[in-house]
Amino acid sequence: MVGQRRKRIKPDKEAEIYIRKQEDKQGFVVKEIPLKGRGVVTPEEFDNGDFLLQYPGKLLPESVAEALEEDEGHPSVFRYFFSFKGKTSCYDATEETEKGPSYGRLVNHGEPHERNCNMKVISVEDVPYLCLFASETIRVGSELLYDYGLPDAKLPWKHMEQPPSPSSSPLDTSHQEQPPSPSSSPLDTSHHEQPLSPSSSPLDTSHQEQPLSPSSSPLDTSHQEQPPSPSSSPLDTSHQEQPPSPSSSPLDTSHQEQPPSPSSSPLDTSHQEQPPSPSSSPLDTSHQEQPPSPSSSPLDTSHQEQPLSPSSSPLDTLSQIVPESHYLRMPNVSVRMSVYLSFSYSWLLLDYSELWEHCHYNVNTMLLQKSM
Ligand SMILES: C[S@@+](CC[C@H](N)C(=O)[O-])C[C@H]1O[C@@H](n2cnc3c(N)ncnc32)[C@H](O)[C@@H]1O
C-alpha cells in the first residue's frame, strides 16, 4: 500500500522496486480535472522527497523522438526529454498501454506555485527511468502537478481561449460526472474547446431552443391571431353582433348563417367544426321566412313587421266592428298585447277577456243605438 514502506525504504530504492515490478503504487486516483482532462490525485499524505509514480513509455534516442515530432508536425507533451550521462533521450508515453505503470503519464503540468512534485532520473542497471517524487508535503486529495519542462509556447492549452475556470478542488467530485476525454493526445485539445460544464458546451444549445408548448408552437398562431378579448366572457355574444347581413352571399359559411347557440362562448369553436345542418344549406333560406320563435326576446319586434293573418288576432275582428273612436285605441292595445304575449300568457288571457268584454259592450251599445 501507498506509504507502507516509505519510512523504512529510501525513496530512490522504493522507486527501483516499482520500476522492476513495472507497477504503479496502489491507491492513486484518476479524476477529471476541469479544463485539464484527467489528473492524478493522492490517496494519502506524502512527505517531501517521497517516491510517487514512474513515468512510463518507450525509451527513445533524442533523434528518433525529434523525427517523430517532425513527422507529426508538432511536439507531444507525452514525450519527456531528459539527459542521462550527457546524452539526451526521451520517454514516449504517447501510447496508452494496458499493462504496466500508467498513472504517471496522466499527471498534469503545474505552474511554479502549483507544483508539488518533480521528475527525476533513476538508473536501474544503467538504464535511465523517469520517476515522480514529492517536492513538498502533499496532502490527501491533492492533484499531482509538475513541470513539463517545456516553454509556454509548446504547451498547447496555453494558446487556447479558456472560459473562466470555476474554483475546483481535487476533492470536488463534480467533474467525475463528466466522462473522461476519449483521446488523450497532447494536442487533442477537445477538452479545451468543449468545456466540461455540460451547460457550457458549445454543442449544447438546450438553454437557447425552448419547447414549445403545444400551445406555443411557432406554427400555432391561433392564440396570437385570436386572442381572447379582455372583455371576453361566456356571456360575450360578440358573434351575435355580426348577424348575416341581408346581402350575405349564399356561399357564406354555415356558422355565419346559423344563429348563435345559447351556449356559445367566444372560445367555443364548435360551430366552425360542425357540418352544416340540413336547414342551413346556403340555398336554404327558410330561416329568413320563419316567424319569430316563441322564445324570442320580448324586445324583439321583428314579428311586428309581419302582417297578422285575419284570424290570427281578435283585434282584426274588432277593427271591423267597433266605431272609429274605439278603433283608434287599438294600436295601443295591440302594443300592450304584444308585450303581454311575450311576458306572460296569463296576462294575455286577462287582456283578451277584458278586450272581449269591452267589445261586447260596444257592440251592444251600437245595436241599441241603431234600434233607437
Ligand atoms: C501528459 S497529458 C496529462 C493527462 C491529460 N490531462 C489527459 O487527460 O490525458 C498532457 C495533457 O494534459 C493537459 N494538461 C496538462 N496540464 C495542463 C494544465 N496545467 N492546464 C491545462 N491542461 C493541461 C493538456 O491537454 C496536455 O496536452
Instruction: Give the per-residue pLDDT at 321.
Output: 43
Instruction: Give the per-residue pLDDT at 76.
Output: 87
Q: State the closest ligand 1 atom to the C-alpha of 107, by its place in the atom list counted from 1.
A: 3
The CB of 38 under 6 Å from ligand 1? The reply is yes
Instruction: Give the per-residue pLDDT at 334.
Output: 54
> What residue type is 126 in one-letter code?
D
The CB of 195 under 6 Å from ligand 1? The reply is no
Q: Which residue's alpha carbon is at the smallest distance from atom 3 of ligand 1?
A: 106
Instruction: Give the per-residue pLDDT at 352.
Output: 54
Cell 519510512 sits on residue: 7
Tell me which of 31, 32, 35, 36 to substitute to probe ligand 1's pocket, judged by most ligand atoms within 8 Å of the beta carbon: 36
Q: State the closest ligand 1 atom to the C-alpha of 181, by its place in the atom list counted from 1.
A: 8
User: In the 3-class helix/strand/coil scheme, how is the chain assigned residue by residue?
Assistant: CCCCCCCCCCHHHHHHHHHHHCCCCCCCEEEEECCCEEEEECCCCECCCCEEEEECCEEEEHHHHHHHHHHHCCCCCCEEEEEECCEEEEEECCCCCCCCCCHHHHCEECCCCCCCEEEEEEEECCEEEEEEEECCCECCCCECEECCCCCHHHCHHHHCCCCCCCCCCCCCHHHHHCCCCCCCCCCCCHHHHCCCCHHHCCCCCCCCCCCCCHHHCCCCCHHHHCCCCCCCCCCCCHHHHCCCCCCCCCCCCHHHHCCCCCCCCCCCCHHHHCCCCHHHCCCCCHHHHCCCCCCCCCCCCHHHHCCCCCCCCHHHHHHHHCCHHHHCCHHHHHHHHHHHHHHCHHHHHHHHHHHHHHHHHHHHHHHHHHHC
Instruction: Give the per-residue pLDDT at 35.
Output: 95
Q: State the closest ligand 1 atom to the C-alpha of 38, by its place in the atom list counted from 1.
A: 8
Q: Which residue's alpha carbon is at the smallest distance from atom 23 of ligand 1?
A: 36
The CB of 156 under 6 Å from ligand 1? The reply is yes
Å from CA of 37 to ligand 1 middle: 6
Q: How many CA atoms lie within 13 A of 40 on its CB side?
A: 29
The CB of 36 under 6 Å from ligand 1? The reply is yes
Whether the ipTM is more than 0.95: the answer is yes
Å from CA of 106 to ligand 1 middle: 7
Instruction: Give the per-residue pLDDT at 74.
Output: 85
pLDDT in tens, the chain (372 residues): 555 555 679 999 999 999 999 999 999 999 999 999 999 999 999 999 999 999 999 999 999 999 999 999 988 889 999 999 999 999 999 998 888 899 999 999 999 999 999 999 999 999 999 999 999 999 999 999 999 988 898 898 988 765 555 544 444 433 333 333 333 333 332 222 222 222 222 222 222 223 233 332 322 333 333 333 333 333 333 333 333 333 333 333 333 333 333 333 333 333 333 333 333 333 333 333 343 333 333 333 333 333 333 344 444 443 444 444 443 444 455 545 554 455 455 445 545 556 666 656 666 666 666 665
Instruction: Give the per-residue pLDDT at 19.
Output: 98
pTM to 2 decimal places: 0.49
Å from CA of 148 to ligand 1 middle: 10
